[in-house]
Amino acid sequence: MIDIKLIRTNPDLVKENIKKKFQDEKLPLVDEVLELDEKFRKIKLESDNLRSQRNTLSSQIGQLMREKKVEEANKIKEQVVEINNKIAENDVVSDQLANRIKEIMFTIPNIIDDTVPIGKDDSENVEIRRYLTPKTPDFEVPYHIDIIERIGGIDLDGARKVSGSGFYYLEGDFARLHSAVTSYARDFMIDKGFTYCVPPFMVRSEVVNGVMSFKEMDDMMYKIEGEDLYLIGTSEHSMIGKFIDTILEKDNLPYKYTSYSPCFRKEKGAHGIEERGIYRIHQFEKQEMIIVCEPEDSKEWFEKLYQYTVEFFTSLEIPVRTLECCSGDLADLKVKSIDVEAWSPRQQKYFEVGSCSNLGDAQARRLGIRIRGENGNYYAHTLNNTVVAPPRMLIAFVENHLNEDGSINIPKILRPYMGGKAIISVKEK
């Protein structure tokens, strides 16, 4: 959510930003906010004047009563009652106006960074750099599910009977590999100076509304029936929510957390959810990193965060590339975003395995996360980034470390988390 002062002082900038995001249908909302805001401020001023007038009259009533001028005091009391009624009427109208303004402000996109490329959708994202040379083995790389089934690592049919499509059982060495990757990711980020955290896996609606747009919530979140609780789609939700309605001390900044959680997503509208695969699924696990910092430090942290993901994947000998997300591919709360994509030898292309986002003060403004300043409090900046999200990441892992006989090599850095195991062999029938 942007500052309404920006709409008051520079509505053309806000409209131009909406155009850059190809959301022209939202352009009339800027003028509507200006109109509603003017009415709101006018009514508020009127009510403030009425309260001042009421205070003056109330003091007169006391004086008149002390002077035994009861009739005059009663007349003034009638005026006070009329003023109270008018204030009550104004309060109803001002609440209605404030709610509508807030509703609109939640849908107006954040101001994107000047460096963000302009484009309609993810097809116009811009490649920044590639890391490690992609491998093309001299044998055919099977579909990832076929690879994992050969090592006895997954049961999709059993999960489909228990939970439906989009779920899985991980088994044996592949399940161990899954845990090894998340444990390594935890230690990797701890070594970078981040505090490890396991957060709540459910959050209240006020937190959901604070960390994401309404459309994202509808497309992603599972609601707990009969409760004001949602299953998190990423631990960013509860980690940023941790600071709701908080005034932070400058000396404690930045807050650097790396958090582990299961994640639950509806994947509404996702194609291929019924197919055999673990690319788009309803349940997965994830190691995340989040930053709460001073506004002037967020750009520097943004660069650091996505480079951590690059370093993590290359340490596992998986080629990756970074992509700058264009304006039309940015969620409404984001100022800037970079995706990390891993190489798929089977498809001979890269696919997304993580995303790094700078949200400026948008989440902080929605959630009331402020920093105590010498000249008044101000909003913090928040950032988030994926360290690793298996089992999707494991698609890249098994394809890039596959041997012709179907076995999978374990990079040296991961072997301590696998009990020293250097290879996952094909399961004997």
* 350-398: pLDDT as tens digits: 999 999 999 999 999 999 999 999 999 999 999 999 999 988 899 999 9
Indicate if 185 and 241 belong to the same structural domain: yes
Indicate if 226 and 173 belong to the same structural domain: yes
Kind and range of the H or E run holding 355: strand 349-358
Mean pLDDT (whole number) for 177-181:
97
Query: Cα torsion at 66, 72, 74, 79 (round to 10°)?
Result: -120
pTM of the model: 0.89
Mean pLDDT (whole number) for 143-160:
93
Q: Which residues contact 28 (CB under 8 A, 6 or more apart)?
A: none
pLDDT, residue 274, reads 42
Q: Which residues contact 162 (CB under 8 A, 6 or more apart)?
A: none
> Is 182 contained in some domain?
yes
Mean pLDDT (whole number) for 106-134:
96
Indicate if 148 and 91 belong to the same structural domain: no
pLDDT, residue 355, reads 95
Indicate if 43 and 189 belong to the same structural domain: no
> Is 147 contained in some domain?
yes
Q: How many structural domains compose the chain?
A: 2
pLDDT, residue 429, reads 67
> Is 429 contained in some domain?
no
Is the pLDDT reported for residue 135 higher than 50?
A: yes
pLDDT, residue 204, reads 93
Q: Tally DSSP H helices, then E strands, for the chain.
A: 13, 18
Q: Which of 105, 134, 168 is the last residue of a domain?
A: 105
pLDDT, residue 391, reads 86
Decide: helix, strand or coil at residue 219: helix
Indicate if 168 and 248 belong to the same structural domain: yes
Q: Which residues contact 424 (CB under 8 A, 6 or more apart)?
A: 151, 153, 173, 174, 177, 407, 408, 410
d(CA 185, CA 417): 11
Indicate if 211 and 336 belong to the same structural domain: yes
Indicate if 229 and 316 belong to the same structural domain: yes
Residue 276's pLDDT band (cuts 50, 70, 90): low
pLDDT, residue 63, reads 82
Q: What is the CATH number of the domain that holds 362?
A: 3.30.930.10
pLDDT, residue 32, reads 97
Q: Which neighbouring-strand residues pair with 140?
A: none
pLDDT, residue 401, reads 97
Three-state SS sequence of 302-351 = HHHHHHHHHHHHHHCCCCEEEEECCHHHCCCCCCEEEEEEEEECCCCEEE
pLDDT, residue 425, reads 95
Q: Are 288 and 242 in contact (CB under 8 A)?
A: no
Q: Which of 218, 262, 255 is nearest to 240 (CA)?
A: 255
Mean pLDDT (whole number) for 327-337:
95
- 10 Å CB burial of residue 143 (0-12, 13-18, 19+) is middle
| Structure-token match 């009421």, residue found | 54
| Structure-token match 């006070």, residue found | 80
Q: Which of 301, 309, 359, 300 is nearest to 339 (CA)?
A: 309
Q: Which amino acid is at 389?
A: A
pLDDT, residue 73, reads 87
Q: Which of 57, 75, 105 is the last residue of a domain?
A: 105
Residue 70's pLDDT band (cuts 50, 70, 90): confident
Q: Which of 213-217, 311-315, 392-396 has the highest mean pLDDT?
A: 311-315
> Is 94 contained in some domain?
yes
Mean pLDDT (whole number) for 169-177:
95
> Is 74 contained in some domain?
yes
Q: Which residues contact 141 (CB under 8 A, 6 or more apart)?
A: 147, 345, 346, 399, 402
Indicate if 365 and 219 belong to the same structural domain: yes
Residue 180's pLDDT band (cuts 50, 70, 90): very high
Indicate if 394 and 256 belong to the same structural domain: yes
> Is 117 contained in some domain?
no
pLDDT, residue 209, reads 87
Domain that holds residue 288: 122-424
| Stronger pLDDT, 210 or 384, i.e. the higher one | 384
Indicate if 148 and 173 belong to the same structural domain: yes
As a whole-number percent, the residues of the chain with pLDDT over 70 amount to 97
> Is 110 contained in some domain?
no
pLDDT, residue 273, reads 42
Q: What is the CATH number of the domain that holds 72?
A: 1.10.287.40
> Is 113 contained in some domain?
no
| Stronger pLDDT, 164 or 340, i.e. the higher one | 340
Looking at residue 408, what DSSP letter applies? E
Indicate if 178 and 315 belong to the same structural domain: yes
d(CA 359, CA 347): 33
Q: Which of 45, 73, 105 is the last residue of a domain?
A: 105
Indicate if 95 and 146 belong to the same structural domain: no
